[in-house]
Structure 1
Amino acid sequence: MSSTLIGIRDDTVDGLYSPAKQKAANRGNYTSRSALFLRRAPQLLAAVKFKLLLAFSLLCLAIFLSSKLSSFMGWIPDRASLVSSPYRGSYTVLINTWRRNSPLKRTAAHYASCVGADAIHVVWSEIEPPSERLKSDLDRAVKLKSWRPDIRVEIEENGGGGSGRFKPIDEVRTDAIFSVDDDVIVPCSSLEFAFSVWKTAPLTMVGFVPRMHWLDLDLLKSGGVFHRYGGWLSVWWMGSYSMVLSKAAFFHKKYLDLYTNEMPSPLQDYLARERQNCEDIAMSMVVANASGTPPLWVKGKIQEIGSWGTSNGKGKEKRNECLNDLLSFYETVPLLSTNVKIVNARQEWVW
């Protein structure tokens, strides 16, 4: 039997396999790849530059559109007033009280503990002036709760007449007013969040208690014009609102002067007669008419330590009457409806 020697050949001249020749050939391949990469490098660099330029352009476009969107939504910061005020980082608590001294002391002490409160003003609308004991109790309760020695309580005596709830106050140092009833407690964390929202939209009302109005279509068909006032259940059912009640709401201090000094005399006389039923609706109309923007409802839990307000139960018909009487003083309906609800994203699991 004869054996056959098989040689492994390649494409070289002599035909025999050589490790040295193979290594040299591989070096040649690497060299050609490096040259190819160097030729393509400018093209790759140009592509990277184009992508970076595109990303930068998109970022600028997003910033521009966000600024336009905020203007469209009516969230137009009043930067002149915010920058000019030395107390732009704080607010004044304006407490409306009526023959409820016990809730008043508790409420004043609570708001004195909130870091953003600059001062507390109590609107005293009773005929009899507050007693010295009440003043002392208020000061003591506030000092115990507040960590700042300069927090103060001022009682504004209005003699029980007129619409004194929104009377301008010379001593107010802040642009922001937080109007609240003496039996309503808003947690400080929710209050600070609502204040941050108001600073983005200082020309409108920002509050925790939404209400709505709508035109009665049945009466409209018969030739009459009548608007209905809707409480919380109406807001929940319809998914929209056109007012936030001043029982727990922020607004700019200039609206105190507008409400008291710029309002027509017949309207002021009407509010003086129907003060307890109509003042909060009237303030919503004043702000909406002046700003041309809807209010903003901030989601937050509030605690009512007194009785329910007039917008519930048997006071509903009175609120309907008040709404229509106030609207009769305007040429058009100033209230604007919206379905925007502001939530704190840090506390919401589901957006």
Structure 2
Amino acid sequence: MVSLLRLRRSTTILLALTLSVVTFVLLANPLSPVADSAGISLSVQSTGAGPRYPLCSNQTSANVTWPSQSWRAAAESKYGGLLEDKFTIAMSTFHRPRELHRTLTALLAAKIPSLHEIVIIWNNFDEKTPDPFVSQHGVPVRYRKPTRDSLNEKLWPDPEYRTQAILLSDDDVYYRPDDLEFVFQMWRKFGKDRMTGALARCATALPSGDWDYNFCSQKAHQDVYSMVLTNLAFTHIAFLDYYFSDDPAVTKIREYVDEAFNCEDIGLNFVMSMLTGSGPLLVRGSSQYINLDPSGGISRQTGHMQARSKCLNVFAEAFQCMPLVNETGRIEHGVKHNVWYKSVWNRIHG
């Protein structure tokens, strides 16, 4: 009997240790990017001659200024008077009434203290825009029909925006209301110089010299990211403003987005990192964000990943270097049992 008990205890401890996983949640300094992790995603693979356009942080050319700090004074002068403690949702929709209705219903049903306004970018050009309205919690909802069919229009710095923080989103994805307020507060505290959101992506330098767009690795020492997608991400309106500036490199990016009808989110990440020298910030709520995952959409098209990789290379050529910066940290909402073996032990012996 004693031997069986000892065997059971030994087996339990071994199982618990096998299941143990510790997730270190690092709060990155909002003005200082985290150094590249072991030279994985944004570095040169050892078997090749290096990327055609190297990291801006390694660039020595007099024609490349990285980061471009001169934009800050102009941004403060132009947008410093906007609300800092509220945010606006800029939500793009295209002939998906069911997804739009579900997302709007979820966001308007609960009171989100810092939500100032929701603006629907109405890309249904063959339909009249619905009338604006105010939710039961006093949140105005208005519809803006762009003047042209362009993905760039989602990033347009609408002169009617009254907040510095803009949550860029699509009609099929959203944070739960409690988490959304949390993410906004994390943007205020840690993310004003960053794209701050839910979905991370990576850029990897291939031996060929090209940059490859991918979903990021989860292997040890490779779990870095360099972009946050604009289907659910906070940005400062100043980045939108610069995206629509007459900077030659940014102008080339906008033109290519119109040509390829793709990659406006990659373009905005390039602009943010080029201006600040910072990478993005991944923020997760206490619950998983909602992704309605409709069957249609650009990301469902054949060759989508290859098209995104091409964007990386076209945009790096425009800047004459790769501005994206690896980050290794993320922020999560709430206290979690990160040490799993304790939970297993407590269940067995509780």
Query: Are 1:154 and 2:121 matched, yes or no?
Result: no
Give the equivalent residue in structure 2 for 1:236: 218
Give the equivalent residue in structure 2 for 1:121: 119
Report the residue type matching 1:202 in the other structure: K
Give the equivalent residue in structure 1 for 2:270: 285
Structure with the larger helix share: 1
Equivalent of residue 272 in structure 1, options 258, 270, 273: 258
Query: Are 1:255 and 2:239 matched, yes or no?
Result: yes
1:167-211: CA deviation from partner (whole Å, max 9, x where unpaired): 120111100000011110210122111111111231211110000
Give the equivalent residue in structure 2 for 1:227: 211
What is the TM-score with the length of structure 1 in the denominator?
Answer: 0.67
Q: Kindly tell me: are residues 211 and 322 of structure 1, through their superposed partners in 2, closer, same or farther at Cα, counting changes over 3 Å?
A: same
Q: Kindly tell me: are residues 335 and 73 of structure 1, through their superposed partners in 2, closer, same or farther at Cα, counting changes over 3 Å?
A: closer
Matches within 5 A, 1:297-316: 297-300=282-285, 301-307=288-294, 310=298, 314=302, 315-316=304-305
Give the equivalent residue in structure 2 for 1:104: 100
Return the offset for 1:247. Answer: 0.6
Greater relative contact order structure (CA < 8 Å, 6+ sep): 2
- Output the CA distance in 1 between the equivalents of 2:196 and 2:211: 23
Return the offset for 1:289. Answer: 0.7
Report the residue type matching 2:125 in the other structure: I
What is the RMSD computed on CA atoms of the aligned residues?
2.9
Return the offset for 1:327. Answer: 1.5
SS in 1 for 2:244: helix
Query: Are 1:350 and 2:334 matched, yes or no?
Result: no
Q: Kindly tell me: are residues 70 and 106 of structure 1, through their superposed partners in 2, closer, same or farther at Cα, counting changes over 3 Å?
A: closer
Return the offset for 1:295. Answer: 0.5
**Is the Cα–Cα contact under 8 Å of residues 205 and 296 in structure 1 kept in the other structure?**
yes
- Output the CA distance in 2 between the equivalents of 1:273 and 1:159: 13
Report the residue type matching 1:268 in the other structure: R
- Output the CA distance in 1 between the equivalents of 2:299 and 2:125: 25
Return the offset for 1:69. Answer: 6.2
- Segments of 4+ moved more than 3 angstroms: 68-74, 83-86, 308-314
Query: Are 1:214 and 2:166 matched, yes or no?
Result: no
Query: Are 1:170 and 2:159 matched, yes or no?
Result: yes
Return the offset for 1:85. Answer: 4.3
Report the residue type matching 2:218 in the other structure: W
Report the residue type matching 2:255 in the other structure: D
Report the residue type matching 1:106 in the other structure: R
- Output the CA distance in 1 between the equivalents of 2:31 and 2:148: 42
